[in-house]
Structure 1
Amino acid sequence: MKLKYSLLFALLGSFIFVKAQERTKDLEFYLNQAKISSPLLKDLENQSKAAGIDSLIAEATSKPQVTGTSSGLYAPIIKGYGYDEVLSNGQSLDALLNVNYDLLNKKRINNQLLSIKLQSDSIGYAAKISALDLNRSIADQYITAFASQEQVNFNREVLVLFRKEEELLKTLTRSNIYKQSEYLTFLVTLKQQELALNQAELQFKNDLATLNYLSGITDIASVQLNEPKLKSERLFIEKSFFGQKFELDSLRNENQKTAISLNYKPKLGLYANGGYSSSLVLQPYKNFGTSVGFTFSVPIYDGHQKKMQYNKLSLASATINNYRNFFSRQQQQQLNLISQQITQTDVLFVKINEQIRFSKGLIEVDAKLIHTGDLRVADFIIAINNYMSAQNLLRQSTINRLKLINQYNYWNR
């Protein structure tokens, strides 16, 4: 029997532990859920696959193209009225197999394949930057929700302290050690703290709901958020991730320039066909045959359109360089500013922790004096408020630092 109850309690304990684990979520969980739920990332993934199919189509066009054609005609002449038989032959029947092959198309196909590859690279870059933006927004909202959760926990701890002292103060007031007005003042402060806790709980629910919304999570159950582990990656960037966009734009510009140049190259094609073609007038059973030929073309004059198209591409190239240089300066300024803010925040922590230590020590001393009736209740409330202010400043500074690190890591790519 004891063994039976032991197993039962063990299973119950395991169930409670698993449920507790399910209610605890970390930043990585929300980042993964957001990526899974994002329709934009799925769209870009499908676009990348489609670009791969475009490459196969382009390669297929470089091979000989075979088509089958058939046509029939009958133009009757009734009482001398009808089409001129010299033109219409009266009737005809064709059934041909045609083969066409462009001899000088290899460079054009290679340039087209390069264009598709650049398009695929652009889609890949768009997917990466979209994932990066998504990670930044999710991390920022996670930090906000975590801050709200910490505010709830702190307000709850302070409320426990208030309620503990309220019981003692009630007893001392009944013993005429403290005045009724002092007890009521303390009670009003306690009620305010209860309202502050309720407000903090509501804010946490709203921030958590926003986090779930951004991550594509429909579960509305309350969870416990783990502290986000973010570290600033202060590395020297030799080649910026964001600079890839301008590189791709430049490569596409060169690809278009090559395409224009190829359009002004000679074109040579071969064709052949075989089958049946007859007017059905003279020995139609002998009208089976074949034919071969070629086509050749070379541009001579088009009003200097080639030069004008090159000029447009030169302007586009200059625009790309202007945007690249401007963004490079802006990125470096952004990194320097955020780095400076992180350093200043780190310096602030020393002073805040010192203030918390003094405030906490004052509360401990005041709590002992309250027990003996040697301290005014108003002074005790002031000490608690000072402690709460210092803790709130520490928490806010911590959250600001996490958000700054999140921003820094985003731009430091």
Structure 2
Amino acid sequence: MNKRLFLMISIIFCWPFLVIAQTKNLPYYLQQAKINSPLLSNYQNQIESIGWDSIKLKASYGPQVAANGNLTYAPVVHGWGYDNAITNGQNVSALMVVTKPIIGKNNLDTRLQSFRINKDITANQSKLSEKALAQSITQQYITSYGSQQQLALANEILSFLKKEDTTLRKLARSSVFRQTDYLAFKVSLQQQQLVKDQLKAQALNELGNLNYLCGLQDSSFQNLQSPAMQIANEFSFDSSAYAKTYRLDSLKNSNDAKIIGLNYKPTISAFADGGYQSSLVDVPYKNLGLSVGLNFSLPIYDGKQKKASLMQNKLLEDSRQKQRDFAKQQYQQKVLQLQQQIQQYEELIRQGEQQMKYTKTLIDAEKQQLETGDVRMTDYLLSIHNYLDLRTGIIQNNLSRMLLIAQLNNLILL
């Protein structure tokens, strides 16, 4: 009856936690981080804004219509005042003015190309930021998952020790081994309980950090699925977002050089106006009319500014090429380094799993001998701690391996 009552109380107490606890995976947190990221949203807004800049440029080369009005009066008093030959004494105008720059299709296409390049540059920067965000979230997810794995191992060991406690208490009472040995076992059990409580607090803290990075407001406990960390098939610098960054910079430098040249070509604009313009001196009712014309501008000498601008552009391109070559070497070196470290951890995991088989076999054998008093309690506890250390080592090595894979798949050059 007491057992049933205890079971019912336990269920009632744990039920809220069972309802709240859910299982979530890495893709869920990556998606939430992308949705909530203000940086990625800002990049998207920048891309849309550049599109509007392109529309504004096209409009600026189209017909521009303005309405201008003017009313002036310049009196001459006792011979004092502005010269009427200049001012006519008074002037009234109300005009509708239309202006239209005349440029070649290549000129407009070259200037529009600068917006397309900037749009691609911003989109590529957004991709790099998304990659950095994915790496940050993945690393924290793996860390949180590792804390839960450590907690699960601590619970497993604690459950095992509690089961053994009943048996060992009987053996101590039967004088199969000394009471001091049994007390040593109880100390180990209590230490394991403390370790479990510490790991539980750590798991909750790491999960809170994960929610914080993703922009989530959630304090409930989430069971995390094991992240499926697979190494990508290709790690070519030329196909990476970094290489694309330098290619886009090269296109920008080339296009900027063309725009510098266009700025020194002659410009022509046509204009037309129509309306009323009169000095109100002679037949003002007949001063309705219109006019048309052309404006022409030809730069002749600018103090060698064009040459200086082109030289600056060339220096930018030289720097871009050197930075690209260095970044490529860094990228390839980082890939080799991470691949080597992953292989090392895989070998450590293999060795640890092999040793764990022997340790587990030893524990099973000592457990049987413990009941007959043929093995000391300290040796038995040592074997349990060795098993715990091996399991912990395997978990940590596996987490380190997954973190390295995350770095490799989302490689970030500093």
Pair in the same fold by TM > 0.5: yes
Structure 1 residue aligned with 2:403 = 403
Q: Give the Å deviation of 1:332.
A: 0.3
Distance apart, 1:240 and its partner CA = 2.4
Name the CA distance, whole Å, in 1 between partners of 2:353 and 2:338. 23
The alpha carbon displacement at 1:228 in A equals 0.3
Matched pairs, number? 398
Instruction: Write out aligned runs for 1:5-24 (5 A).
Output: 23-24=22-23
Amino acid at match of 2:385: N
Amino acid in structure 1 at the alignment position of 2:265: K
Counterparts of residues 52-67 of structure 1 (less than 5 Å): 52-67=51-66
**Structure 2: any 5+ residue segments left out of the alignment?**
1-14
- The aligned counterpart of 2:173 is 174
Residue aligning to 1:372: 372
**2:139 equivalent to 1:140:** yes
Kindly state the Cα deviation for residue 76 of structure 1 after the two structures are TM-superposed: 3.1
| Maintained 8 Å contact 2:34/2:40 | yes
RMSD value, Cα? 2.0
Structure 1 length-normalised TM: 0.92
Deviation, structure 1 residue 150: 0.3
Residue 186 of structure 2 is matched in structure 1 by: 187
The answer on whether the counterparts of 2:21 and 2:223 sit within 8 Å (CA) in structure 1 is: no
Residue 106 of structure 1: CA displacement?
Answer: 3.7
* Larger displacement relative to structure 2 (72-81 or 87-96): 72-81
Q: How does 1:338-349 map to 2 (within 5 A)?
A: 338-349=338-349
Contact 2:71/2:91 (CA < 8 Å) preserved in 1?
Answer: yes
What SS is found at the alignment partner of 2:291?
strand
Partner of 2:160: 161
The residue that corresponds to 1:115 in the other structure is: 114
The equivalences for 1:214-225 within 5 A come to 214-225=213-224
Does 2:78 match 1:98?
no
How far the C-alpha of 1:84 sits from its partner, in A, is: 3.0
State how 1:13-412 maps to structure 2 within 5 Å: 23-104=22-103, 106-235=105-234, 237=236, 238-411=238-411
Spell out, residue by residue over 1:77-128, the C-alpha distance to the aligned partner (whole angstroms, 9 max, x if none).
4455443322222211100111111222543322221111111111101111
- Say whether the 8 Å CA contact 1:230–1:405 is kept in structure 2: yes
Distance 2:57 2:34 in 1: 32
Structure 1 CA distance for aligned equivalents of residues 361 and 245 of structure 2: 56
**Could you tell me whether the CA contact under 8 Å between 2:249 and 2:320 is conserved in 1?**
yes
SS at match of 1:372: coil
Amino acid at match of 1:203: Q
Structure 2 Cα separation of the partners of residues 135 and 344 of structure 1: 24
What's the CA shift for 1:400? 0.9
The code of the aligned residue for 1:129 comes to L
Relative to structure 2, which stretch is displaced further, 382-391 or 88-97? 88-97
TM-score normalised by the chain length of structure 2: 0.92
Q: Work out the percentage of aligned pairs sharing the same amino acid.
A: 38
Deviations 1:279-311 (A, max 9, x none): 111111000111111111222222222222111
Task: Give the 3-state SS of the residue equivalent to 1:170 in structure 2.
Answer: helix
Three-state SS of the structure 2 residue aligned to 1:233 is coil
Secondary structure at the aligned position of 1:273 is classed as strand
Q: What are the ranges of 5 or more consecutive residues in structure 1 without an aligned counterpart? A: 1-15
Contact between 1:335 and 1:412, CA under 8 Å: does it hold in 2?
no
Aligned to 1:411, the other structure's residue is in SS state coil
Residue 9 of structure 1: aligned partner: none
